[in-house]
Structure formats: structure tokens, C-alpha cells
A and B are shown apart, each in its own frame.
Chain A
Amino acid sequence: MILLQCPCRYLLQVLTTRVQNLEKGVELDCQWVEFDDVRYHIQATVKNPNILLLSLSLPTPPPETVFSGGLPQGAIEAIKAAYGVVLQILDPPRDGFNLTLKLNLSKLPPDEEHKQALLVKIASIREVVLGAPLRAVLRQLVSRGVKSNLNKLLSLVHRPDESFFVFPQVDKATVIFPMRFKDSIDTVLATSFLQEFVEARKTAGLGNAPPCLWSSSPPQELKGAPEKALSANAGFVSFVIFPRHVDGRKLDKTVWSLSTFHAYVSYHVKCSEGFMHTRMRRRVESLIEALDRAKPDLEKDDQPAQNRSFKRLSLKDGRGSFNSR
């Protein structure tokens, strides 16, 4: 797995099994947490097997990010546009969550293919809600209408108390990530990973990918941002998004990749640590082998004598010789 998948695997599994065994209608109540502190809670009762209550809690936004009614801007419209009649937003949400949705399984389209596509879309609820503001900004790039918020720095939440920034301009949008890591080893690995990442962008064949820059100090665009948002121990990564990256179907993918960029880096840092350990284990094994080979022959000389006395005692050998007889 190189990229993180967009739909939540468990949610999709729950929904699919539920739809397949609708008449059984077992009770369901479970909660789980995804990366970047996104919590899910899903509930269903025996009485109403068609109704599922899905609650979502988002990472707490830092002061510079604007939330309206506990949700990112434009999230409610995005939900309505994406799901139509199948989902209904409940107000107020369940205690401790930002959003509660009532999901009516009887209103799913009867056609298998559409049904599955919609279930996948529901499992991607996180992208719809958290990615809503970014999606609005990027959509402006391709639309011909009047553009608002130009040349104004926008901050969007992606981790608890951390945000990334978007700087929209007429023909492009710059997305800037301050990268922070808790562990010192992670920080070092992430820094070199990001530098490699920028290098890799320069190789031939990736000419159409968004230009990407890494710097240890905050880039110019972040001038107006608050002090706290400008400290990052693994530097700043910025991507320049052009209209060609967001037209048509590419928009969804771009939004998802950008809004989970930190999780992506952190996943690959963990992977590389794992692979280093694998290599180290292999190396230690080969060194031990070399050591064993280098042992003086002295031991070998007096081994036969020992072996004989041990052989007589060992059970396995006894049985072996018995069989051979």
C-alpha cells in the first residue's frame, strides 16, 4: 500500500454486511478512531433495522481556523450534495461528536452498482466533511465565475490543534503544510523523506505533477499567520495546484491526498523504520554467521568425544537407531 485509501475500511465493511443481511437486523453499537483523531460511532437498533446513526468527531481546530457550527465551512452543503435523501443531518449532534447523520438504508438505490458506489461514498464521509473548504477553493480554480477570497491566506484543520494553509490566486493555489513530529527520530527521517520527495518530483515523467517545495523556514505566503502555526520541526512543504490538477474526477483524489498529506508522510516514516529494522536484523544474522565460521577449530576437535556420550542419552537418536535396526 503506497497511498492511504479514501473510504474507511471498517465503515464500509459494516455497511456492506448490514445491507446484505437487512432482514436479520442485529443490534450494532461500536466506535473507533482513525488517524488524525477522527472518531466514528455507529449505532443501530433491532426495532428499526433500516436506520443507522453515524456520528463523527473531528480534530479540534486551532484558533486560526474557522469552524461554523462545529463543522468546517461548507461541510453541510457538501454532505447534502453528495448523499441526497439517504442521509439526514441531525441537530444537535450526539454528545461529544461534531456531526450525527441518520442513514436510511431503505432509500438506497436498488441497482447493485450504484448502491455499492454510494456505500463507498458514505464510507468516505471524512473526506466529504473535512475536505469541504479545500474542495471549494480548488473548485474555484476551474470555474469561470467570480472568485472570492483571492490572495487571502486560509487555514484548514487537518490534525488536532494543527492546520495547513491555502493561498488561492487567480490561476493557481498554493497549499502549505507545516510538518511537526513528536519523536526526534521521526523528525529526522521525515525531513530527509521530504527532501527526497521534492527531489523525486524533478525526475522525468513527473512533469505534470504539482510543483513541490520544501524549506526549513516558513515560506513568504505565510506572512499573516499566527506565531504558533509557524513553528514546525520538520520544515514546510508547499504544493502549487494548477487548474489541470483539479478538473473533473481528479478533484476528489487531489482533495483527499492533500488533506491527509501529514498522515501519508507519517505512514511512510513508520514504514521506513520498519524496513531499516528488517535490514538490521538480516545484517546481524549474517554477522553472527561470520562469527560462527571464525570460531577456532579447537572446539571442533573435542566435539566428537562429547557427541558420543550425548548421543547415547538422547531419546531421538535412540529411536532412530532402533528403527534402522
Chain B
Amino acid sequence: MDPATARPAVVIDNGTGYTKMGFAGNVEPCFIVPTVVAVNESFVNQPRPRSTKGGNWLAQHSAGVMADLDFCIGEEALARSKSSTTYNLSYPIKHGQVENWDAMERFWQQCIFNYLRCDPEDHYFLLTESPLTAPESREYTGEIMFETFNVPGLYIAVQPVLALAAGYTTSKCEMTGVVVDVGDGATHVVPVADGYVIGSSIKSIPISGKDVTRFIQQLMRERGEHVPPEDSFEVARKVKEMYCYTCSDIVKEFNKHDKEPAKYIKQWRGTKPKTGAPYSCDVGYERFLGPEVFFNPEIYSSDFTTPLPDVIDKCIQSAPIDTRRALYKNVVLSGGSTMFKDFHRRLQRDIKKIVDARVLASDARLGGQQKAQPVEVNVVSHPIQRYAVWFGGSVLASTPEFFTACHTKAEYEECGASICRTNPVFKGMY
């Protein structure tokens, strides 16, 4: 038997904003770091030395080689780029797709050797991709993993499918459902039936976590809060993460805030980055208006005005008819921007409203001869939502079937990178 199958598989979920990495079988990823690489590029664009006079050339050459190793990722990269100008930040993933493969390869290298500190030859790997990724990019991933890192086996899973698997218990193995994935850079509504993504029904929304932050920033600026401009985005992000919640009705919520400001208005304290002087500002309506952009997008932008519940309903209506009831029954949230308090309650209520209205209309049309069975709507939320995709990967990669579903190094050498185009849905998934 391959000794690598006796060790836990490595699970890495590369998101636009954050990368979650760890070992299968654990409940938490070992590290959650920003997906960013700081590269020292001062040597790349230098002209080649004309003179090949020994010492000087050698020194320059080895300095160039050292610069290859001179990069870092995650928080370290952000800190390094702030303190010095020789480093350039590059974000390898944009809108859920890998854009810069050089940076991506370096990022993986540091993940494996510096963070997880494992030998890639000893472990099977589970990586993730967005449902809209092209097969070519999967091939590329496979090439890097097998050629550079010599991994014994690789499986590339689709993120929403893993988010579904996160709700996996011994009693319930549901692999049908709609995954509402609201990340930092992209929002997708993805229907999955028996572990297969229904590709034609995927809906995307141009509103994501970053937009909520921007909206809060805008609200605070318009009210004239004294936040230093260079810090305002960061402050808005922290306010979003700490104070925001979902309300059931905006008008009532406004009234509540006006009646009891002491109870609802929070204070934010910080220090100015330049002078170090402390300042404080109020956090008011933006606490519930921030998450409201998902339910009433017209308050944020005039380009896109369909509320999230409508999009989910449309998505399910476009799925095959025999899956619809099951899809309504299992709407799963994933991604950091679904963590607002009571987000799932509001979503469930709004979807239920749409569905009930439709059932009533059809009953009226049929004239009361036939009653439709009521449709069950269920929005599931778990405490691990922030890294639900990683957790699902960890669960799946710890089943014995995982190792049989992987593409192995031998297969790769026999057939080439094209084997990575498809990844079988394996038995553990449903």
C-alpha cells in the first residue's frame, strides 16, 4: 500500500481574499492567511551584465538567485510591503480565478514548506476551484502540483460541493442543495444535485463582501465621521465584522435606533496612523444598512437591483423540475460575508414569501380543485460558515474513498495533465 494514504491529506482552499489550509480530519484549518504574495522584483528587470568578468558577474548572478527566494505570503507580505518599497504585492487570484500562475506557484510553495511544513511527496492533496473555472486552469494546477511538488495524488474539488459536504453528518448525507457563497470578491448561487453542479443554473451577483465594506465606508463618510481617509476602508471592514447585523424590517429598525440611541449606537475607537492621536466615531444605521445591500441592492447601486432571495428563487426555478423541492429544502450558506447575525433567518423568510405567493397564485388559477403541497424552505447555517468549504474538504478527504478518487502521479505520467480536467464525484459525497 502507498504509505501516503496512511497520512492525512493536505486540504488547501484558495479563495480570492483568504486561503485556508490544513490537514484532513481536523475541524479547523491550521492557517487562514490572505491570498497575497510580496515579491522582490528589483532583480527581474535589470539589464544583463555585458562584461562576463568573473567576480562581478557571479555576485550579480547569485544575488538574482537569492531574490528568487526573497518573497513572502499572507500577513507577512502585507507587513513587508508597507515597510519597504522593494516588494511588490501581487494577488494571484482575482474573482475566484487564478490570474498569475507564477505568484500562485510561489504561494503554494510557501504554504507547503513554510506554513504547513510538510513534504508534498508524503501527502495526497485536495485543492478547490470555483464552479466557473475553465478545464485548462485545472490542467495547469495539476501540472504544477505533479511536476513541481511531486505530489502522489491530487483531487480538485468544486467549492460549493464542499460547502454542502460541510453539513455532512453520519445520519444525514445530503448532497443536493443550493449553495449561497458570498465571499470577499465574488458571490455565486450554485445549485448542486447529488454532488453534481447544475452548471447552466449558476447565478452570479456583482455584490460581495467588499461592496458591503464600501457601502459602510460611504455612509460613514457622508455622515461626516472623523475617520482618517487612508484608514477609512480598514475601519469600515472592522465595523462590518464587529457590529453589523441583519434586521427584519428597515423602517422599524430606524425607529428603534431613533428611540434608543444609547442602546444601538456603538463607538469605534482608533488611533490615526500618521500622528498616533486617538479618535473615536459613532457607528449608527450602517450596522443594519450594510447587510441590507443584499436584500435591497438599490440602496447601494443603480446597476443591479435584484435582491438576493429573488436570485436564489430564479436559480432554483431554472434547475430541473425534479430537483426543485430538494433544493428549496437545503439552502446552504458559505463564505465570510454570510456571517451577519440573523442573515439566514431573513433569507429564509424572504424566499418563503416568494414561494408561498407562487403556490397561492397557482392554487387560485386551478380554482381550488387541486391543492399544491406546501414547499418546505430551509436555509441552513453553521458556526463554521467562514471556512465551510475547507471543512467540507477536510471531511471528504478523510474518507477512504477519497484516495481512490484522486488522480495519482502514475496516471499523470501515463496520460498527461488532461486527466485533471475531470474529477469524479466519489461515493463519500452522497
- Residues of A whose CB lies within 8 Å of any CB of B are 1-2, 4-5, 8-10, 13, 29-37, 160, 182-183, 186, 263, 266-267, 270-271, 273-275, 277-278, 281
Mark contacts of B99-114 with chain A using CB atoms, 8 A cut-off: 1 yes-contact digit, 0 otherwise: 0011001100110011
In the bound complex, what is the Cα–Cα distance between A238 and B133 (angstroms)? 48
A33-B118 CB under 8 A given contacts A270-B113, A271-B69, A274-B109: yes
**What are 23 A-B interface contacts by the 8 Å CB criterion?**
A1-B69, A10-B117, A13-B31, A30-B23, A31-B23, A31-B25, A32-B30, A33-B7, A33-B8, A35-B122, A183-B150, A266-B119, A267-B113, A270-B109, A270-B113, A270-B120, A270-B148, A270-B150, A271-B68, A274-B109, A274-B148, A275-B68, A281-B102
Q: In the complex, A273 Cα to B120 Cα: how many Å?
A: 14
Report if B27 contacts A (CB, 8 A).
yes
A8 to chain B, nearest CB (A): 7
Q: Which residue of A lies closest to B149 (CB)?
A: A270
Assembly CA distance A267 to B22 (angstroms) = 19
What 7 A-B pairs come out closest when comparing CB atoms? A35-B119, A30-B26, A32-B23, A10-B30, A273-B148, A278-B102, A274-B148
Task: Let me know if B234 is at the binding interface, CB within 8 A.
Answer: no
Contacts known (A9-B117, A274-B148); A33 close to B69, Cβ less than 8 A: no
B28 on interface, CB distance cutoff 8 Å: yes
Range, interface on chain B: 35 or more
Q: How far is the CB of B74 from chain A (nearest CB, A)?
A: 11
User: Chain B at the A interface: mostly helix, strand, loop or mixed?
Assistant: helix
Q: How many Å lie between the Cα of A5 and that of B7 in the bound state?
A: 23
A8 to B117, CA, bound (A): 8
Q: Are B105 and A277 in contact (CB under 8 A)?
A: yes
Residues of chain A within 8 A (CB-CB) of B298 are none
CB distance from B38 to the nearest CB of A (A): 13
B contact residues around A4 at 8 Å (CB): 113, 117
Residues of B within 8 A of A (CB): 3, 7-8, 22-23, 25-28, 30-31, 66, 68-69, 72, 101-102, 105-106, 109-110, 113-123, 144, 147-150
CA gap between A30 and B398 in the complex, in Å: 13
- Beyond A32-B30, A277-B105: 9 further Cβ-contacts under 8 Å? A4-B113, A4-B117, A10-B117, A33-B23, A37-B7, A270-B109, A271-B68, A274-B148, A278-B102
Please determine whether B26 and A281 come into contact, CB atoms closer than 8 angstroms: no
With contacts A273-B148, A277-B148 known, is A31 near B113, CB below 8 A? no
By a CB distance below 8 angstroms, the chain A residues around B25 are: 31
Contacts of B30 in A (CB 8 A): 10, 13, 32
Given known A-B contacts A273-B147, A274-B106, A281 and B101 have beta carbons under 8 A apart: yes
Query: Which chain A residues lie closer than 8 Å to B27 at the CB level?
Result: 29-30
A252 to B38, CA, bound (A): 31
Complex: A214 Cα to B193 Cα, angstroms: 58
List chain B residues, Cβ under 8 A from A267.
113
B119 touches A263 (CB 8 A): yes
Query: Does B113 lie within 8 Å of A278, measured CB to CB?
Result: no
Can you name the residue of chain B whose Cβ is closest to the Cβ of A269? Answer: B150
Residues of B near A278 (CB, < 8 A) are: 102, 105
- Are B122's CB and A37's CB within 8 A? yes
A270 surroundings in chain B (CB, below 8 A)? 109, 113, 120, 148-150
Q: Which residues of A contact B102 (CB under 8 A)?
A: 278, 281
Q: Which residues of chain B come closer than 8 Å to A271, judged between CB atoms?
A: 68-69, 109
Contact B26 A274 (CB under 8 A): no
A1 contacts across to B, CB distance below 8 A = 69, 72, 110, 113-114
Q: Give the residues in chain B near A277, CB-CB below 8 Å.
A: 105, 144, 147-148
Q: Once the chains are docked, how many angstroms separate the CA of A278 from the CA of B64?
A: 14
